[in-house]
Structure 1
C-alpha cells in the first residue's frame, strides 16, 4: 500500500533526462509545467485499523502512524524496531541480552525490565493478537501489509498494558492468484538473508494457502574476547534466525472470511555481551577497544523460540453489522546467558530461563449506520509466565565465605486471567460534529509463586548448562510468596470531533488506561501485590490535507501517570551489597508534549516527509523507606528512561521512470536528543545523535524484478540502547565510583547498529 499515488508521464522522463544532462533545466521545467496542468500526483487515502475497524487515517481521532509494505521495502526496514524513526516520541529497541527481546516506550511510558511477571506498557499486536511478553517481540518484516503505531493509552479498545500505546503488525490478505517471490540480501558483516513468500489457490475463489520463510544470518559486530567455552562461537551481536508463517484463508460465502495462521521464530543468535565502560577492580582485563567487544564467563549460546496459532472469522451479517471472532494461542521459550559484569570471572553472572504461554479469545461486533458506528466486544486472556534465574557471585562467595561460590536463585510463575467487555462508538450529530465515547470493564486476576534463596555453591538453571554440570534434581530455594489478587477496572474514553471541511478535522479527547497489577517476581518475603498503574491522557489534535499534495497532522497531549509500580531497594545497614527489593505503587509522573507529521508531494517525482516529537516528562512523586523503615522522598533520584525530549525525522523519496523500469531514491535523517538509561540513580546518559540512511531501489517494467541498495547509519554513530549499572557514585571523590552488587564497579553499555550497507535482489513469479 503506497502512501501516495504515482501517476507517471513524460514529465518523469523529462526530469530524469535533465538530471542526466541530456536536456536543459529550462526545457525540463517547461515540460513539467505543461504536464501538471492535466495530470498531477496527489495524496492517497491511507487505511488503518487503529479503532478495530477499517478507516482512513485522516478520519481517525487518534495519534497514529502507518507505514505501508511498499515504504518498508523502499526504505530497507528489516525489523519492527526501525519503525520508531518514523513515529514521534517512540522508542523501539533491542533489549540487553538478546536480539529478539524488545524495549518499547511511547510518550515516556513503557517497561524497562523484561522479567516474567512484569507487564509491558506498550502493547505489541500481530493481526489484533496480543503478544504478551517482550521476549520474541522484535518482529522481522515478512508478509507484512503495514505497521501501525498508536500513541497514547488505548485502554478502551485494546485494554490493559497499552498505557503508552500499541504497535500493530498487520499482515496482508491473499490476492487469490498463484504467486511466488524470492529475495536475497548480502551486506556488511557477512549478512546473508533469504526470504521466500507465496500463495496458491487450493480452490478457486474459495480456499487459499500462503506461506513465508526467512533465514537471516550475519556475523557479529564484535567478538567475545573470553568465554566459559573457548571452542564456542565467539561472535558478539551476530544474527542467526529463522522465521516462517503459514496461512489458510477460506471464503465459504461472499460474506464470511476465515483465516487460520501459524507463525514460528527460532533465534539462535549468541547472547549479547555488553561493553565495560569502566575497568574491573576485580580482574585485570582492560576495557575493550571496540564497543561491540566483550568478555564473559558464561557460554555464548542463546535461544529464543516463539510460535503462535490464530483463527479469525469475519461475518458480515448485514450492511450494518459485522461479527468477528479472534482465537489465539502463543508461547515462547528462552534460555539466556546474561553476564552482568562482562568479565572472564563469575563476578555477577545471570543464566536464566523464560517460559511463557497464553491463550486469548475475543468476540467482536461492529455496527455502522449513517450517523453511528460502534465497536464492541468480549475478551478473555489466560497466561502463564514462568522463569528462573541464578545470580552467581562466585568471586564474592569465595572472598566472603570461603565456599566454592555464592548464588541467589529466584524462580516462580505469574499466572494471569483477565476478562473484559468493551464498547466504543462515534455518533455524528451533523456533517461537521461528532462525539466518541467508550468504556471497558476489566476483571484481572494474578496468582504468583516465588522461590528465592541463597545457595552456597555455583549453580545453573538446568543440567548441561556448561559441560559436565549436573544440577541436583532436589535443589529448590524456599517459597517466599504464594498469593493471588483480583482487580476490577473501568477505563473510559470520550472525545469530540469537528470537521472544518472535507479535508480538515479537529479533535479533543480524554482517555484512561491501566497496566496490570502484579506481584514482585524477585520477592524475598510475602510482600503484597502492587496495584495497577493508571494513565490519564488529555489530547487535542488536527488532521488536515491542506492541499492535494500536503498533509499535516499535529497533536498536543498531557499524561498523568499514577500508581507507578516501582521496585524499591531497601538498604541493609549491615551489608550495602545486599539487594533487598520491594515492589509497590510509590511513583507518579507527568508528561506534556507535541507531535507533528508532514507529507508533502513537492513534485510529481519528489515526496518529502517528516515528523517531530517534543516531550517534557518527569517524576513528580516517588517515596521509599530507609533501613529503619522511615518513609523518605526520593523523587530527585528518578528520571524517565528511553525518552528523548526531542525526536525528529526528515526524509525524501524521488521516483523516476525509464524504459526498463522505475528508479526510486530515498533517504532519511533521524535525530534523538539525549536520554537516560537508568530510572533510579541514573549514571549513564546517551547524548543526542542522528542516524543518516540512504537507499536506491529499481523495479523492472514487467514488475517481476527489484533491486535495493541501502546504507544505514552512514556516519557510524555510536549510541546506547541499554545498560546495566551496579555501582554508586563516590560522594568523597567526584567522578569516581564505589563497587556495588558483586563487589565490582559494573557499568555496562549495549549499543545500536553500526554503519551497514546491504544489497537486495528480488524476483516475483
Structure 2
C-alpha cells in the first residue's frame, strides 16, 4: 500500500507497506493456539474494564477457528473485530513465527505501513509511514508523522526507534489520524507496543540463536512473585551479526589509479577493511507491578539500550563520472569504496578519518498507574522520562575521491519528559467516555562538525567547514476527549476532540572548528546565535459510526483530522535558506469506510477498508533551494537540504485482509492493497522536482501471503512448517535534478521460511529459518541524493541477502 517518504535530497514520494491479515494470534512460535469453544461476540466493555492494563491481550474463544485478540486502542478492552478502526494487532507468537525481532519488520504484516531503517547519514533511526504520511528525517527540528508508543508511553523521535521486540505481549498498529485516541497527536497513525507485565507466580524463558554471518542472538525473561499483589519481571536481549556490504580500499583494489590513491596501512590482501550492515544491540528491561486487587494496577518500568555497530549497508547506485574525475565509483552490488577519510585542507590541519560506526545508548523510566475510583470510573496516570545519546560519522559522497570529499561527525543528546492523565467513565448503558490531558517537554542538543568540499568541485575557496552545537527545545500541551454512544442495539456513535498547543525553538550555532567566528562564502556563519521559533495550535476531531448487522458482520464509517507541526529548516547551506526556510503545519482530513467479518463458524476472517486522504501543505525535503536562495528555478549552485511545504494532494486506497483456519492446524493469512492519488497543487518552493502529473504515492499494488500447518508427531510433539511471501511494486524515487526523469526501484518479492519443532509439553522449541529464501537483491526505499548536483553520486541502502538461523527456546 502506501507510504510517502521524501528523498533525503529531492522530493521523492513513494508508497510501500506489506499487508497480511493479523487477527490470527499465535500462542507461541510456529503454531496456532488451540482454541476454546465458540462464544458470542463480547459486549461493549464497561468502565470497570476501561483503561485496560497495557500488555494484556486476552483471547476470546473460537470453535476450532480464529483466535481473537482484545485491544485497548480506544482506552478500553474491546475485541479487535468490535473496534471501528483500521487496526492490526499481532501477538508475540506470530512475530516469532515470522522471524521478526525488531520494530522495523512489523510492516511485513501490516497494510499500508512502511518502517525503514535509515542509512549512515541518519544514524540509528527509522522512517515511519502509514497511508502515505510520516517522516524520514531524524533531525529533532522535525516532528514524526507516526506516533510510536511503548506501554502507552510516547517515544518522541525517530532516533533510537529501531527497537528490539523484547518480551512483547502484542503490537497494535492504528492507521489514520490518532489525535483523539493517543497521548500525542499523530497525523499518520500510531504503533503501540505492549510488553508482558509482571504476573503472579515464578516463570521464565530463554532463547539462543546462531545463524549466517556469525549471527548470535540471546534473549530471556524471568518473572517473580515477591509477595501477594507484588510482582517483578526482568528481560534482556543481545544481538550480534556481521555486515553484508564490503568496505573496499580503493587504492588497494586499483593500484596506479589516476587519483594517486595508495593502499592504507594494514589493509588485508583482499582489500576489504570492514563491513557495513552489522548488528550489535543489547537491551535490558525491568518492571515492578503492584496489583493488590482489581482496583489498583501500578507498573514501574526501567530500560536501557546500547548499540554499537557499523553504519547501514549502503552502496553507490548513481555516479556522474563528469563530476567524479572520470571515475565510476560504483563498486558492485554489495561493496563500497567509501573511505570516511579526509585529506588536510582548510581548517583541517591534518588528515583524519570519521567514525564509520553508529553508537547509541539510552535509558528510560516510566510509571503507569490505574486506579478504579468506582465500578464505573477509572483514573490512569502515565509518567515517563527518557534520555539518550547517539554518535555517528558520515561519508557524504560515498567515494574516496579527495576532490569531492564531504564528511560529518554527529553527536545528538536528547531528554524527554511526559505526563498523561486519563479519566474513563460510563453513563449507564448509554455511553462510555474518556477525557484526558497530555504534556511533554523535550530538549535536544545536536553537535555536528561538517567538512564539505564538494561545493564548486575542485575550488577550495568554496569549502564549507563549520561546527554546530544546536539546542532544540520543544513542548506540547493537549486536552482530548472521546465519547462512544450506544443509542440502539448494535449501533455505536463515536465522537472525539483534541486541542493541541505546541512550541519549538531552534538555536543556530555556526562556528569554526576552534569555536570562533565562522567566515564562509555562503553566509552560514552569520546565522550564529540566531533563534527560530515555531508556535502553533490546532483543534482536531473524529466522528465514527459503526453497526453490527450480525454476530458475523460489523461495518463502520469514520471522518477524522490530524496535523504535524511546522518549523524551520535545520540544515541550511546558505543564510537565505535558513531565513526563508520556515514552513507551516501540514494537515489531513481522512475519510474511511470498512467492514469486519467472521465467517463460516469463525474459520474465515475478512476485513476490508477504503480510505481517502485529503492532505494539505505536505512537508517534504526539497531538491532545489533556488527559490529560498532568491534565484531562478534550477540555477542554484548550492546543495539543498531544506524542508518546505510541497503542496496539496489526495490519496485513495483499499486494504483487504484475510485470515483463515479451514481445518485444525492449518493457518493462512493474506492481504492485497492498492493506492493511488494525485497532486492538486505544487508549492512555489518545490521548483520542478515534482510536477502535477507525477505520482504522489507508489507502489500502487502490494500483497502478502503466509501459510503454516501444524503436524502432530505422535509421542514427539509437533512440526510446523511456515512460508511467507511479500510483494512490493515498483517505487518512485523522484528526480535527481529538477529536469531529469523520474526513477524507480523495481518491484520485488521476498520469501521467508521456517520449520519449528515443539515438544509435547510445549516448553521446548527448536526452529530453523531462512529469510529472503530466493536471495533477492533489492534496495530499501530510501536513497541519499542530496549531493548529486555537486558531487555526482547517489547511494542507497541494500536489503539483507539470504540468511539462515537455528534457534532453541526453553520455558520454565
Normalising by the smaller structure, the TM-score range is 0.7 to 0.9
Alignment pair present for 1:556 and 2:610 = yes
Distance 1:84 1:398, change over 3 A: closer
Alignment pair present for 1:239 and 2:240 = no
Q: Which residue does the alignment assign to 2:14?
A: none
Cα displacement (A) at 1:99? 7.4
Cα displacement (A) at 1:357? 1.6
Cα displacement (A) at 1:514? 0.7
Alignment pair present for 1:448 and 2:506 = yes
Higher relative contact order (CA 8 A, sep 6+): 2
Alignment pair present for 1:425 and 2:483 = yes
Q: Which residue does the alignment assign to 1:289?
A: 332
Contact residue 122 and residue 166 of structure 1 kept, 8 A? yes
Q: Which residue does the alignment assign to 1:512?
A: 561
Cα displacement (A) at 1:123? 1.1
Cα displacement (A) at 1:634? 5.2
Instruction: Tell me how far apart the structure 2 counterparts of residues 451 and 229 of structure 1 sit (CA, whole Å).
Output: 35
Contact residue 245 and residue 314 of structure 2 kept, 8 A? no
Question: For residues 689-742 of structure 1, what are the alpha-carbon distances to aligned partners after superposition, in whole Å with 9 as ceiling and x for unaligned?
Answer: 111111111221123211111111111112211211146xxxxxxxxxxx623x
Instruction: Tell me how far apart the structure 2 counterparts of residues 183 and 500 of structure 1 sit (CA, whole Å).
Output: 45
Distance 1:52 1:452, change over 3 A: farther
Q: Which residue does the alignment assign to 2:230?
A: 207
Instruction: Tell me how far apart the structure 2 counterparts of residues 148 and 415 of structure 1 sit (CA, whole Å).
Output: 30
Alignment pair present for 1:85 and 2:114 = no
Question: For residues 550-570 of structure 1, what are the alpha-carbon distances to aligned partners after superposition, in whole Å with 9 as ceiling and x for unaligned?
Answer: 111110000011122244433
Question: For residues 178-236 of structure 1, what are the alpha-carbon distances to aligned partners after superposition, in whole Å with 9 as ceiling and x for unaligned?
Answer: 11211110111110111121111122x32112111111000111221139986697121
Distance 1:689 1:395, change over 3 A: closer
Question: For residues 516-538 of structure 1, what are the alpha-carbon distances to aligned partners after superposition, in whole Å with 9 as ceiling and x for unaligned?
Answer: 22222124343474222111000
Instruction: Tell me how far apart the structure 2 counterparts of residues 673 and 505 of structure 1 sit (CA, whole Å).
Output: 31
Given candidates 373, 392, 396, the residue that maps to 1:317 is 373
Alignment pair present for 1:330 and 2:386 = yes
Structure 2 counterparts to residues 336-485 of structure 1, below 5 A: 336-345=392-401, 347-368=405-426, 369-394=428-453, 399-401=458-460, 406-452=464-510, 472-474=514-516, 477=525, 478-479=527-528, 481-485=530-534
For the residue of structure 1 that corresponds to 2:219, the secondary structure is strand
Instruction: Tell me how far apart the structure 1 counterparts of residues 779 and 145 of structure 2 sit (CA, whole Å).
Output: 21
For the residue of structure 2 that corresponds to 1:290, the secondary structure is coil
Answer with 530-539 or 96-105: which moved more.
Answer: 96-105
Instruction: Tell me how far apart the structure 1 counterparts of residues 266 and 530 of structure 2 sit (CA, whole Å).
Output: 41
Contact residue 427 and residue 434 of structure 1 kept, 8 A? yes
Q: Which residue does the alignment assign to 1:672?
A: 728
Distance 1:740 1:435, change over 3 A: same
Q: Which residue does the alignment assign to 1:616?
A: 676
Instruction: Tell me how far apart the structure 2 counterparts of residues 409 and 190 of structure 1 sit (CA, whole Å).
Output: 39
Q: Which residue does the alignment assign to 1:114?
A: 138
Q: CA RMSD in A?
A: 2.7
Q: Which residue does the alignment assign to 1:219?
A: 242
In structure 1, the gaps of 5 or more residues are 10-38, 456-470, 728-738
Q: Which residue does the alignment assign to 1:123?
A: 147
Distance 1:702 1:581, change over 3 A: closer
Contact residue 340 and residue 746 of structure 1 kept, 8 A? no
Answer with 583-592 or 105-114: which moved more.
Answer: 583-592
Alignment pair present for 1:307 and 2:363 = yes
Answer with 133-142 or 169-178: which moved more.
Answer: 169-178
Instruction: Tell me how far apart the structure 2 counterparts of residues 327 and 259 of structure 1 sit (CA, whole Å).
Output: 11
Given candidates 740, 743, 747, the residue that maps to 1:688 is 747
Contact residue 292 and residue 751 of structure 1 kept, 8 A? no
Q: Which residue does the alignment assign to 2:807?
A: 760
Distance 1:90 1:250, change over 3 A: same
Alignment pair present for 1:6 and 2:64 = no
Q: Which residue does the alignment assign to 1:29?
A: none
For the residue of structure 2 that corresponds to 1:263, the secondary structure is strand
Alignment pair present for 1:718 and 2:777 = yes
Cα displacement (A) at 1:662? 2.4
Distance 1:558 1:390, change over 3 A: same
Instruction: Tell me how far apart the structure 2 counterparts of residues 300 and 622 of structure 1 sit (CA, whole Å).
Output: 38
For the residue of structure 1 that corresponds to 2:599, the secondary structure is strand
For the residue of structure 1 that corresponds to 2:720, the secondary structure is strand
Distance 1:515 1:150, change over 3 A: same
Distance 1:527 1:42, change over 3 A: same
Instruction: Tell me how far apart the structure 2 counterparts of residues 41 and 473 of structure 1 sit (CA, whole Å).
Output: 70
Distance 1:746 1:499, change over 3 A: same
In structure 2, the gaps of 5 or more residues are 1-24, 38-61, 251-262, 268-272, 341-353, 519-524
Contact residue 596 and residue 608 of structure 2 kept, 8 A? yes
Contact residue 565 and residue 586 of structure 1 kept, 8 A? yes
